[in-house]
Amino acid sequence: MVKTAYVTDLKSLQGECSANYLRLIRLVGDMEQGQSRDIRLSEEGSNALHLYIQENAPYTTMIQVSQTGPLDHVVESPKMRVHLYHDVRMAEVTDFQRERHFHGRYRYPNPRMHQPDEKLQLNRFLGEWLAHGLAHGRSEYVPEMP
């Protein structure tokens, strides 16, 4: 049996990144650098999606996306950095759990045990996370009054 190498599915990756861009734009609205927003994911308010604008430039925005919950003192909550590229209207996960710069594909097995399509999986995870926040979340952000 011949083992074939994984081929990056660019169409799926670009589609996911474009959809995530639209989801993030809806969630962050007109927030500026240094501002954050919490989106409660449950009625009790113990789980929240946290969005923080780290950098904001004309063509790119860097957002930290994390989740807080009742087990934060026991288990590290998911945390990722996402770059929004406004000129191509795409959002890409660049850091996840303090790991940076994911390749489009990995040989398997590899020393860090990344999946062959790790980058696509991270962007899909972000998409599911954001879609859940849009569908079930309640914003905790109150805009500043001039």
Q: Where are the beta strands (DSSP E) in the chain?
A: 36-40, 48-56, 60-68, 79-85, 90-96, 99-100, 138-139
- pLDDT attached to residue 3: 62
- pLDDT attached to residue 6: 59
- pLDDT attached to residue 90: 97
Q: What are phi and psi of 81, to 5 degrees?
A: -110, 135
- pLDDT attached to residue 5: 61
Between CA 27 and CA 134 the distance in angstroms is 7
- Spell 110-128 as b/e; 16+ CB within 10 A means b: eeeebebbbbbbbbbebbe
- pLDDT attached to residue 98: 63
- pLDDT attached to residue 37: 92
Between CA 124 and CA 127 the distance in angstroms is 5
Q: Digits of tens for pLDDT over the chain (146 positions)?
A: 656 665 667 798 899 999 999 999 999 988 999 999 999 887 776 788 999 999 999 999 999 999 887 666 666 788 899 999 999 999 999 988 666 666 555 566 656 555 656 788 889 989 999 999 999 888 765 455 45
- pLDDT attached to residue 145: 46
- pLDDT attached to residue 116: 57
